[in-house]
Amino acid sequence: MTPLVEDVLTAGWQLRGCLGDTWRWLCGPGRPDEEPGWHAARVPGSVLDDLYRAGQVPDPYHGTQSLAGEWVPQRTWLYRRPLRLPGGPLGEGQRALLRFEGVDHEATVLLDGHEVARHEGMFTPFEVDVTRYVEDGEPHLLAVAVHPAPPSEPQVGRTDRVRVHKARMGYGWDFCPRMIHQGIWRPVTLETSGPLRLVCAAVGADVDEAEDEGRITAEVTLDAVAGARGVLHAAVRDPDGTLVADARQDVPPHGPGRTRLELRVPRPALWWPNGHGEQPLYDVTLSLTDTDGNSAGRSLHATTGFRRVRLVHAPGAPQDALPYTLEVNGRRIHTKGWNWVPLDAQYGVPRPGRLEHLLRLAADAHVTLLRVWGGGLIETGSFYELCDRLGLLVWQEFSLSSSGIDSVPCDEAAYVELLAREARSLLPRLRHHPSLAVWGPGNELHDTAAARPLTQEDSPAIAALAAAVADADPSRAWLPGSPSGRDFLFRAGTGSGYADGTQAKGQHDVHGPWEHQGLGAQQELYDAGTCLLHSEFGVEGMANRRTWDAVVPPGEHWPTGRDNPVMEHLGAWWNNTPLVRAAFGERLHDVATMRRASQQLQYDGLRYAVEATLRRSPRSSGCIPWQFNEPFPNAWCTSVVDHRGDPKPAYHGVRRAYRPAHVCARFATQAWAGHGTFTAELWSWRQQPGPSGSGGPAGGTVRARLLDVEGTVHAERVLPAGQPSGDPAWASSVPAARAGVFSAPLSPLPGELFLLDLELRDGDGEPLASGRWVHSRTSDLAPLLDLPEARIETVAEPHLRAVHLRHAGGPAALGLYLTDARPIEAEGWAVFEDNMLDLLPGESVRVPVTWRAAPGEGRAVAVEGWNTGVRELR
């Protein structure tokens, strides 16, 4: 008799391509192991990745070589591997089942050439009872034919032509070339069980308003042979492993069915978003025993957390607006967000290290919410487990998106039913994750002609998904789209209020723009914003050096604009070479300077846009910049972390803005030609520590100084930090307070460049936050190109745990940026606690470095700035 086990089938897979139905000739037993045409395959994995590793296609992440793989999804790809029960023949009453967690997108499963299952849908798992084929315990041949990818729409097309629930990004998007995914992209297991088994369970947790008692619910699906009896056990353990609740329930002899358990947990520890408290997780175990007390097969485990999340209206919001402010455990939380796209275009290949690294970068940046963009994935369990641990709330969208020409989902009954069926399958599997806060139907679903976001009333598809969420996951918030309107696009309003009628009509939840607007225009637009939620906007920037060097073929680095065919392939939508040239006086003549200029604009442009939104808290519910990561190594992109996992300077600009304590300024431009006076409005905020903190601190000051690049102070003002306006209960986690106006004449400044230096201190005079902005007295930022050299002394601590920088001579050292200087294929990442620094004469700074998943040998860091050159530390 074989033991009751669950065997994960990861090893021994092979793959080959098939035209037409030739896969049916190649899937049976008796074929030689060394038959030509087969290649080693990874499961989970991606077909294109397997072919690249086998030398059948060139590296799709280099230059324009992804074009050479566009034929791949037009074929059927046949996987095979030997299958044998691990413990010999099955005993009486025992069964064997194959479980596929995800196949992208359509597949036929065969054993010894016999078709045993056919499935369609990348997000839905399926099981196959193979008892009668393998019960003898002898070797057998398992084959899975992954059929050609279904037709769907690239970014510019028609949403009403889409008939599948599949990630659309791979069909061709602004940040990902056409790389349509195929493969067994989630695990495959072989389970042996007795007559009674656990199939799956939907676990949920909630806590009462008084926070005195938590409740765990488990809706369990059982598979039982008629007449089989047993006992269902449930146990809940707290974060320390202490048993805090348990229950048992007899399983009646009625065959397959469902049952529900409910457990009470006294005084549970509450789960809080990142930066607002701890993230205690409780372990829930479900198991079955037969009537003799013997195990009846696998147990199911889920980790969960106790919290209450809802969306509430911002103060003064229009009556016809939806609620957008997050309220967690009774506390209003300003959304400090980022938009998340799939980790990789070949998303079937497990990359646990990079996934954890990226999510930790988000948590390090004080992010409270990630919006999982609707052109990509229903994210994986690994993603959600990390978000649970890190306190990252998630707004998860179904895999629907706009299409440029038409952006209304198909309303045919079969398609609407498909979406509803898949939603009801996947919703219970994610219910236990405390990080999952909001569901939505997809990205930018709207009436294209009217630029009006759709609602449930407009689209049967959206209505079906809303109904599925209300039925299968009713504790989660729902938003009918992103944006949800009433306008689609962000535009300037006429003031900062709402209830007084000064808000631009319809500016509730909006998107755009995604481009730097130009010096002065960037500030003008975002300072005039009045939207309640800005759920997508961004600034484009060039790739980091080592990603650029690895992706762009030698000889193709210049020109950097769209007139270069390689640049056209690697992120053409976000290649703003003409604007960067104009912002620097048409004086950019090499790749290194173009990169530095582009990334300076992205850094300044994105942090200003984010700060402008934060200054409107609490009447602004939050902002979610586009985009955090990228699934493909673009030469130009709106991402702030490149495909390798290295942040661009813009990441650090937003990270500073999202700090619990921050100081910033509102000003008209960074290029002051034609202005006699510099004027800035000074703002700050300081989040109180702990889950009960709200409102601004008592006392404190904001200091503003105007300095030349030699460090001489030409104007200075110290103002009381001020208090947040409005009801203190609504101050949320960004108690934005206006300190006042700082102005100074520009004529006394000796050169073309100057710095705005800001500092926030508490009531005891202790520094809390600081910030600097580079400004020019000319019409552009070209004076940065003429800075005399600054001498910087650099010292590395042992094992490069920190880098010391000291200004040792010359003018201010501007735009100092630290990067991981190892080869791009090196393991792990260098994570810098601070970056993108401006050092005045005589200043010094210590920058701690965390080496994530990186060996101790070969560590190297590069430091470069506008006027320092590049130096390496080892």
Q: SS3 of 319, please?
A: coil
Helices and strands: H and E segment counts in the chain: 12, 51
Is 98:127 a contact under the CB 8 Å cutoff? yes
Q: SS3 of 510, please?
A: strand
The strand pair at 509-511 and 533-536 is best described as parallel
Handedness of CA 38, 40, 42, 46 (dihedral sign): negative
Is 477:484 a contact under the CB 8 Å cutoff? no
The pLDDT of residue 493 is above 80: no
The pLDDT of residue 2 is above 50: no
User: Among 226-240, 528-542, 607-621, 819-833, which stretch is predicted with the lowest mean pLDDT?
Assistant: 226-240
Identify the residue with better confidence: 503 or 178.
178
Same domain, 615 and 669: no
Q: If pLDDT is split at 50, 70 and 90, which confidence band does 689 have?
A: low
Q: Sheet holding 188-193: strands in order across?
A: 6-8, 188-193, 95-100, 126-129
Q: If pLDDT is split at 50, 70 and 90, which confidence band does 195 have?
A: confident
pLDDT at 34: 81
**φ, ψ (nearest 5 deg) of residue 465:** -70, -40
Residues 641-667, mean pLDDT to the nearest whole number = 98
User: Among 163-172, 494-503, 687-696, 830-839, which stretch is predicted with the lowest mean pLDDT?
Assistant: 494-503
Same domain, 809 and 775: no
The 3-state secondary structure of 624-648, one letter per residue = CCCCCCCCCCCCEECCCECCCCCEC
pLDDT at 495: 42
Q: If pLDDT is split at 50, 70 and 90, which confidence band does 698 have?
A: low
pLDDT at 690: 58
Summarised one tens digit per residue, pLDDT across range 310-344 is 999 999 899 899 999 999 999 999 999 999 999 99
Q: If pLDDT is split at 50, 70 and 90, which confidence band does 497 have?
A: very low
Count CB-CB contacts under 10 A for residue 470.
Answer: 12
pLDDT at 6: 78
pLDDT at 562: 96
Tokens of 489: 């696009």
How buried is 784 (Cβ within 10 angstroms: 0-12 exposed, 13-18 middle, 19+ buried)? buried
Which run of H or of E encompasses 356? helix 352-364
Q: DSSP letter at 147?
A: P
Q: What is the pTM of this model?
A: 0.96
Same domain, 714 and 614: no
Same domain, 605 and 546: yes
The pLDDT of residue 498 is above 50: no
Same domain, 745 and 686: yes
Residues 417-432, mean pLDDT to the nearest whole number = 97
Q: SS3 of 807, please?
A: strand
Which run of H or of E encompasses 390? helix 381-390
Q: What percent of the chain has pLDDT over 90?
A: 87
Is 631:175 a contact under the CB 8 Å cutoff? yes
Same domain, 684 and 819: no
Q: Using alpha carbons only, how large is the chain's radius of gyration in Å?
A: 29
Residues 672-678, mean pLDDT to the nearest whole number = 98
Summarised one tens digit per residue, pLDDT across range 347-356 is 999 999 999 9
Domain at 631, CATH number? 3.20.20.80
pLDDT at 290: 84
Summarised one tens digit per residue, pLDDT across range 355-364 is 999 999 999 9
Residue 669 located in a structural domain: yes
Q: If pLDDT is split at 50, 70 and 90, which confidence band does 734 have?
A: confident
Residue 697 located in a structural domain: yes
Q: If pLDDT is split at 50, 70 and 90, which confidence band does 383 have?
A: very high
Q: Domain of 705?
A: 662-786
Measured CA to CA, the distance from residue 663 to residue 661 in angstroms comes to 7
Is 473:431 a contact under the CB 8 Å cutoff? yes
**In terms of Cα–Cα distance, which of 572, 534, 570, 560 is closest to 642?**
570
Residue 509 located in a structural domain: yes
Mean pLDDT of the chain: 94
Domain at 175, CATH number? 2.60.120.260
Residue 201 located in a structural domain: no
Helix, strand, coil content of the chain in percent (nearest 5): 20, 35, 50
Same domain, 635 and 582: yes
Q: What percent of the chain has pLDDT over 70?
A: 96
Amino acid (1-letter code) at residue 864: E
Q: If pLDDT is split at 50, 70 and 90, which confidence band does 210 have?
A: confident
Total tally of structural domains belonging to the chain: 4
pLDDT at 196: 87
Measured CA to CA, the distance from residue 626 to residue 174 in angstroms comes to 12
**In terms of Cα–Cα distance, which of 864, 857, 865, 861 is closest to 873?**
861
Q: SS3 of 235, please?
A: strand
Handedness of CA 14, 15, 20, 22 (dihedral sign): negative
pLDDT at 500: 43
pLDDT at 505: 73
Same domain, 505 and 392: yes
The strand pair at 369-372 and 393-397 is best described as parallel
Residue 399 located in a structural domain: yes
β-pair partners for 718: 703
Give residue for tokens 């030609």.
673
Summarised one tens digit per residue, pLDDT across range 830-874 is 999 999 999 999 999 999 999 999 999 999 999 999 999 999 999
CB hemisphere CA count around 43 (13 angstroms)? 27
Measured CA to CA, the distance from residue 377 to residue 399 in angstroms comes to 6
Measured CA to CA, the distance from residue 445 to residue 187 in angstroms comes to 32
Same domain, 724 and 806: no
- 411 contact partners, CB below 8 Å, separation of at least 6: 160, 459, 460, 461
Summarised one tens digit per residue, pLDDT across range 269-318 is 999 999 999 999 999 999 999 888 888 778 999 999 999 999 999 998 99
Same domain, 690 and 544: no
Count CB-CB contacts under 10 A for residue 457.
Answer: 9
Residue 385 located in a structural domain: yes
How buried is 568 (Cβ within 10 angstroms: 0-12 exposed, 13-18 middle, 19+ buried)? middle
Same domain, 460 and 400: yes
Cis peptide before 578 (omega within 30 of 0): no
Measured CA to CA, the distance from residue 346 to residue 181 in angstroms comes to 6
Residue 322 located in a structural domain: no
Summarised one tens digit per residue, pLDDT across range 757-776 is 999 999 999 999 999 999 99
Tokens of 477: 């918030």
Summarised one tens digit per residue, pLDDT across range 587-613 is 999 999 999 999 999 999 999 999 999
Same domain, 644 and 628: yes
pLDDT at 248: 93
Domain at 866, CATH number? 2.60.40.10
pLDDT at 697: 54
CB hemisphere CA count around 240 (13 angstroms)? 5
Tokens of 516: 């730097």
CA dihedral 136, 138, 139, 141 (to 10 degrees): -20
DSSP sequence for 405-422 = EEB-----HHHHHHHHHH
Measured CA to CA, the distance from residue 557 to residue 61 in angstroms comes to 16
Summarised one tens digit per residue, pLDDT across range 509-535 is 999 999 999 999 999 999 999 999 999
Is 190:83 a contact under the CB 8 Å cutoff? yes
pLDDT at 224: 80
Residue 303 located in a structural domain: no
